[in-house]
Structure 1
Amino acid sequence: MSWVSKTLNSTLGRKLLMALTGLFLILFLVVHLAGNLQLLIPDGGESFNIYAETMAKNPLIRVVSIGNFAFILIHVVYSIMLSRYNKAARPIGFAESKANTNSAWASRNMGILGTLILIFLLVHLRGFWYEFKFGEIPTAVYEGVTYKNVYLIVAEAYSNPLYVLFYVVSMGFLAFHLSHGFASAFQTLGLNHAKYSPLIQKVGIGFSILIPALFALIPIMMFLQA
């Protein structure tokens, strides 16, 4: 077995992959949010439709999109492996009781939070990404150029109060997941310093509140404006 295989199959290697894929997904959230916020521009969806079409036709974005799916898969698989390893290595009883008193709720339930977020992603991808790629979407013309009117698909979904509620609750799960995962990723990469760690934790808490809140704001605003 090569050193690469040994590293990837070691506990440290798995944690490193979790940290790296997690940080990539955090960066993706920021980029994705920047695009989605264009849904709130009061121009009938023109800005968002042009943005969506431009991103879909960009070769670099296609490569990043494939990488994003791969990183999500790696993040999920390795989180399951680490959870099973930790559960098998942890004595029952005293250790579990001590963990409950010494760790935050989010850190003790990262597996559950991750599973709930994965369910949201599958529903979200089926409703939007799949429809954009393979569904029959009406078109809109801006300055003589025809675009897929993805805005209509999104607006229709966000007119459903149950879906809006599902989305907002899922963003709550994401907030808890990020509240632990953000700082944990930096710590795994060895960026653990008495001077900088408190700052990283504060930034992580702010990020875990702001980003999910802005994501949740989009369907709420569109529902209220429908």
Structure 2
Amino acid sequence: MSSFGKAFSSSIGKKVVMGITGLFLILFLIVHCFLNSLIFLNDGGETFNLGAEFMAGNWAIRAGEIVLFIGLILHIVQSARLTYDNQKARPVKYAAYNGSANSKWYSRSMGLLGTLLLIFLVVHLSNFWVVSRFTGIPTHDANNRENLYAVMVESFQNIWIVVLYVLSMISLCYHLLHGFASAFQTMGWNHKKYAPVIKSVGVWYSIIISVLFAAMPIAIYTGLIN
């Protein structure tokens, strides 16, 4: 194995990959949340479908999707490897270990939260991404654009899908509360002068992104958006 490969297969290397892919996913969530939030204009999905059409037809965005999937897979794989390595390094737990005294519960539950998000991701991609990219949207809006908004409205008439999305966004919030600051720390951007700012931004980012995503299916299901 080359020195480059050894560096990235080391414990530090795995954490760096987690940090880089985590930051990339954080940026992606901002773009994705902004686009989806267009439904709150409540204009029958016209602006949302316009944004979706732009995203689908822009070569840079399509190329970014490939990078996104690679980053997502790397993030999942490295997370699993780090969890395995940590458990292997300490096969016998300490007799007296008070986890709450050393870290938040969600910091110790990133594996569980990540697994819940992975389940959500499979459902989400099958409901929307696969339909828009491969099978084609069956209906079009008044401007003859593929009506992804109609697909969203139809999906969120199912209460179980709504419940899954809301619970998943709660998981996302806790996952980001740990992951946001952790990604910056892993990359070495944790100077004591800026650490409180990064932590504060991370908290607000985690809450706003998660609340907006959770509010979408709730608003559609309850008829606030139609």
Shorter-chain TM-score: which interval? over 0.9
Distance 1:23 1:96 in 2: 35
| CA drift at 1:210 | 1.1
Q: RMSD in angstroms over aligned alpha carbons? A: 1.4
- 1:45-76 per-position Cα deviation (integer Å, ceiling 9, x unaligned): 11111111111011000000111111100000
Q: Please, which runs of 5 or more residues in structure 1 have no aligned partner?
A: none
Distance 1:219 1:204 in 2: 24
Normalising to structure 1: TM-score of the pair?
0.94
Distance 1:113 1:101 in 2: 20
Q: What residue is the counterpart of 1:42 in the other structure? A: 42
Change in Cα spacing, 1:60 to 1:97, as seen in structure 2 (3 Å) is: same
Q: Secondary structure at the match of 1:140?
A: coil
- 1:67-120 per-position Cα deviation (integer Å, ceiling 9, x unaligned): 111110000000000000011112523277144431110111101111110110
1:20 aligned to 2:28?
no
Distance 1:150 1:207 in 2: 26
Q: Secondary structure at the match of 2:141?
A: strand
Equivalent runs, 1:1-226 vs 2, <5 Å: 1-90=1-90, 92-94=92-94, 97-136=97-136, 137-142=138-143, 146-225=144-223
| CA drift at 1:153 | 0.5
Say which structure is richer in helix: 1
**1:30 partner amino acid:** I
Q: Please, which runs of 5 or more residues in structure 2 have no aligned partner?
A: none
List structure 1 runs of 4+ shifted beyond 4 angstroms. none
Q: Secondary structure at the match of 2:54?
A: helix
Normalising to structure 2: TM-score of the pair?
0.94
